[in-house]
Amino acid sequence: MSIHFDAKARTLTLNTAHTTYQMQIAEPGHLLHLYYGSRAEGCLDYLYLPHDCGFSPNPYERHTERGWSLDTLPQEYSGSNGGDYRLPSLALSTDSGVVGAELRYVSHTIEEGKYALSSLPTAWDRGGEAQTLTVTLRDEAAGLTVELLYGVYEEQDVITRAVRLINSGSQTIRLERAASACLDLPFGRWDMLHFHGRHTLERQSERRELMVGTQGIGSRRGTSSHQHNPFLILCEHDATEDHGDCCGAMLVYSGSFAMEVERDQMDSVRLVAGIADEGFSWQLLPGALFETPELLLSFTDSGLTALSQRFQRFLRRNICRGPWAERPRPVLLNSWEAAYFDIDAERIRSIARGAADLGVDLLVMDDGWFGERCDDHRALGDWTVNPQKFPAGLGAVIDEIRDMGLSFGLWVEPEMVSEDSALYRAHPDWALRVPGRAPTLGRDQLVLDLSRAEVEDFVYETVASLLRAYPIAYIKWDMNRSLSDVASRALPPERQGETAHRYLLGLYRVMDRLTREFPEVLFEGCSGGGGRFDAGILAYFPQIWCSDNTDPIARLSIQEGTSFAYPYSAIAAHVSASPNHQTGRQTPLGTRGFVAATGAFGYELDPGRLTETERDEIRAQIAAWREREPLLRAGEHYRLSAPEEPYCAWQFVAADQSETLFTLVMRRVESNPRPLHLRLKGLDAEACYEIVQQETAGCALAVPDMSGTVLPGSALLRGGVTLPPLYGDYPGIRLLLRKQ
């Protein structure tokens, strides 16, 4: 049993293979959090000595115990307006004047299998590998029942958390904050590692020691955003890739979020994560239920790499689902950087012929194929094929492309509407818009109000009708603006604070319906690249366009930051033209291939502009990627370099340690360089490994070939490997090693 109740100590303990999570039911019913960390035995309440901390009040029933305060003890799910002045998990009010939340234990249940939420995506249980703990709390004054949900994945070392809020009283409850989880870490010196950025520069890692006070990350944009990813790590101050305590937290949510961390007066650290408060409120009517997004937690004492690998495995195995979750992905070529809006039947046929000649599997037609779409000012919402561009119809073109040996994919942006469109002229009330105010436009478009059932049905039918009408193998689902003017014509004024969350609920329902009806279609998420790169999207779409920035040197930090939590099988990465369309940088084709061929691999260029030498090189890239795809999709990933190094290096190791692929790309080349010395990771120390293949890219000087060299695993792990200097414009080297 991974969940255990000790009636004498009144503790609930959640054990995974390497961690322990423990809470205690204290008198008169407060639920205290005792511990989350490496595996430990017994009751850990001895850690919390009575301490009278000035201006930290005491519950009424324990008012004579000055050393017992909710303001200093670790809480499992913090209330508000009740003497704990730290970050609250729950805030509410009622018509009778109840303000804040005071929660007391009622009961708990332990069940086999994993809980599910009725309205939101969650991790799933593959064959009875999880257990569920439900702890029921109650606020009597408000008439609110709170169910704390815990999913325990013992072998994966992951604990999931979510909350159900049920109005079991007779008055309306107004939720003003409803966090998914609270986690108190009372001891230790902690850093926060998070992943920030902007459009075309997503998930840049930043690490800083926690200050006394509150800091955090989040999004007010209606999406998880390019600016902050809904994932952070709390790690020991001296933790590295290979050692130290690290705790990761990830929201399975794609909308506005907040992850706040407070280091309080006693140096205790509290994390509260969930839907962002700003713009959020929810009227919970008698008998109604509200569910919070799920939070994934994992802890390790073995450093950042071990934590990343746990999240990567868990997302690949227990978040992604459907036939494509573990299926080899097709090599695709997308038309966007080849043609932009200048797309028609002849142009796409020409691109397809070039793609087929290269050995590509899938041709994707991006924006510009529908309605009066000739630029980004018009026609979103009018999802009918443009007859001038496709006089014989789209079906005829798809048939020709399939006859070339290619599958066909299509770009859509169904959550959006242009003012200049037939859809908007017919249904102006379907767009999010504040009454009486001119709307804010992003990319000259508005956002459809997916909180409305008729709009939800329209978006679903838009995509479903295309998939029913044509043999489409892939859909790229884009979303090219942040939400603003968030107001729904279908909700009364007092419920406008529900609009943004209801939008997400509608979106998830659409995605669920489509992926169930069309399980063989490969869906790729996109929001201007990585603006909605999160576990909520991955629960429906197994891969996401990592960034609109296809520059390989910029992609090094983008993909590396993404790898702290997300598997490379979910990271869509393409080789694009040089000079790059976003940065103007020129990089060798081989280097572009090294960087892109770590994730869901493809191309973003016009094959007609390639030289024959480039075509041959691309054919070789595709052949190599297909051979190594199982290793890249399911192998263990290791980061081998620090951001300040002049190079970026990484490694994939097969689960059985039979082979490894090592890649290094120079960020900058120096005169009189230091030796390139690195230790490999994840290998079998008792075995020997042969370098069976060496590839170089962009090297101005010849590099000695190490192919055929056999080295002990222990030497590679402890002594490492020294590489010759690499000169040229962004050169790189890649080594494939196999166990002897």
pLDDT band at 243 (very low <50, low <70, confident <90, very high): very high
What is the model's pLDDT at position 415? 98
- Provide the 8-state DSSP code for 171: S
Higher pLDDT, 1 or 696: 696
Question: Which tokens belong to 576?
Answer: 């694009």
CATH of domain 3-319: 2.70.98.60
Structure tokens at 735: 């080594």
Under CATH, which number does the domain 332-630 receive? 3.20.20.70
Predicted local confidence at residue 740, as pLDDT: 95
CA–centroid distance for 431 within its chain: 27
Say if CB 126 and CB 263 are below 8 A apart: no
Query: Where residue 1 falls among pLDDT bands split at 50, 70, 90?
Result: confident
If you average pLDDT over residues 47-73, what whole number do you get?
94
The residues of the chain that CATH labels 2.70.98.60 are: 3-319
Identify whether the C-beta of residue 179 lies closer than 8 Å to the C-beta of residue 80.
Answer: no
Residue 626, φ and ψ in degrees, nearest 5? -60, -40
Amino acid at 736: L
Residue range 471-491: mean pLDDT, rounded: 98
Task: State the pLDDT at residue 551.
Answer: 98
Q: What is d(CA 37, CA 45) in angstroms, rounded to the nearest whole number?
A: 14
* Residue of 687, 569, 679, 571 whose CA lies nearest to 628: 569
Average pLDDT of the chain to the nearest whole number: 97
The CATH homologous superfamily for domain 639-739 is Golgi alpha-mannosidase II (2.60.40.1180)
The rounded distance, in Å, linking the Cα atoms of 449 and 507 is 10
Active site residue 627: no
Pairing of strands 190-198, 144-153: unpaired
Alpha carbons within 13 A on the beta-carbon side of 38: 8
Check pLDDT > 90 for residue 180. Answer: yes
* 84, 102, 534, 695: the active-site residue: 534
Joined tokens for residue 678 = 């690195």
| 127 has pLDDT over 90 | no
Residue 618 pLDDT > 80, yes or no?
A: yes
Angle at 396 between CA 391 and CA 399, to 5 degrees: 155
DSSP 467: H
With 90 as the cut, is the pLDDT of residue 168 above it?
yes
CA distance 59 to 692: 68
- Known catalytic membership, residue 614: yes
Q: What angle do CA 190, 193, 197 make, to 5 degrees?
A: 155
pLDDT digits (tens, 9 = 90+) for 335-345: 999 999 999 99
Looking at the chain, which residues constitute the CATH 3.20.20.70 domain(s)? 332-630
**Residue of 326, 419, 420, 614 marked active site:** 614
Give the Cα separation of 433 and 438 in Å (integer): 8
Task: Indicate whether 166 pLDDT > 90.
Answer: yes
